[in-house]
Amino acid sequence: VNIILLGPPGAGKGTQARRLVDERGLVQLSTGDMLREARSSGTEMGNVVAEVMDKGQLVTDEIVIGLIREKLEGSDAPGFIFDGFPRTLAQADALGELLDGMGQKVDGVVEMRVDDDALVERISGRYTCGNCGEVYHDSTKPTKVEGVCDVCGSTDLRRRADDNAESLKTRLLEYYKKTSPLIGYYYAKGTLHPVDGMAAVDTVAGEMAGVLDRL
């Protein structure tokens, strides 16, 4: 199955995607992670996207669709979790066409609903492991030993450059302006499944498992 995780910044897309990889053997395709990889590699494209990302704006459809196309074409995975993609109607159309060309489709779109206040709280406390990608939070999910990743033991714990109040404001505006129209887009296609993203991580995971089992 191919699933899209749709929701504002900090809704918990990355957190839930990692669980689905572990539990269902699906492949996570996070355009945010791909873009962060591109910028750290110092390529020409990476330098262009770095500035845009740090401001909290969306990177161009052309770049992002190109990244996804590359991943889909080279993969024989049983299914994908799209995390942070699509984010515009143009990206949604492009994804539909790419999957169609592979004889596949978007089977379900999980819309993660979280209040703005909670998003700010989640983003401002977030840090991740630079080695394995595990996601943490200062108050709701700190590492067991301070400064050491629970999963892989790495001490490379990082905060994102765009996780500051100013960029977050722009990221939220971008979400409501350009991404939230996808809710209606997928509702009309009959593939939209809203879940309560305000609940605890395990509760949200349980609700999502129920959605996936019914697809």
Catalytic residue among 18, 39, 122, 171: 171
- Is residue 171 among the annotated active site residues? yes
Pick the piece of the chain touching Zn ion (CB under 5 A) from 92-100, 145-153, 158-166, 176-184.
Answer: 145-153
Residue 137 C-beta: closest distance to Zn ion, Å: 15
Nearest to 182 by CA among 67, 56, 94: 94
Catalytic residue among 19, 126, 158, 177: 126
- Check binding of 57 to Zn ion (CB under 5 A): no
What is the token pair recorded at 3? Answer: 């699933």
Catalytic residue among 24, 71, 160, 178: 160
Which positions from 64 to 93 touch Zn ion by CB under 5 A, shown as an x/- string? ------------------------------
Nearer to Zn ion, 131 or 191 (CB): 131
- Is residue 19 among the annotated active site residues? no
Q: Which residues are annotated as a binding site for AMP?
A: 31, 36, 57-59, 84-87, 91, 160, 171
Distance, in Å, from the CA atom of 184 to the CA atom of 164, rounded to the nearest integer, reads 29
Nearer to ligand AP5, 12 or 108 (CB): 12
Neighbours of 147 (CB within 10 A): 9
Chain positions contacting ligand AP5, by CB under 6 A: 7, 9-15, 31-32, 35, 52-53, 56-59, 64, 84-85, 87, 91, 122-123, 125-126, 135-137, 140-141, 162, 171, 200-201, 204
Residue 4 C-beta: closest distance to Zn ion, Å: 26
Residue in the block written with tokens 């993609």? 85
- Is residue 126 among the annotated active site residues? yes
- Check binding of 143 to Zn ion (CB under 5 A): no
In the complex, which residues of this chain contact Zn ion (CB under 5 A)? 129, 131-132, 134, 149, 151-152, 154
* Residues annotated as part of the active site: 13, 87, 126, 160, 171
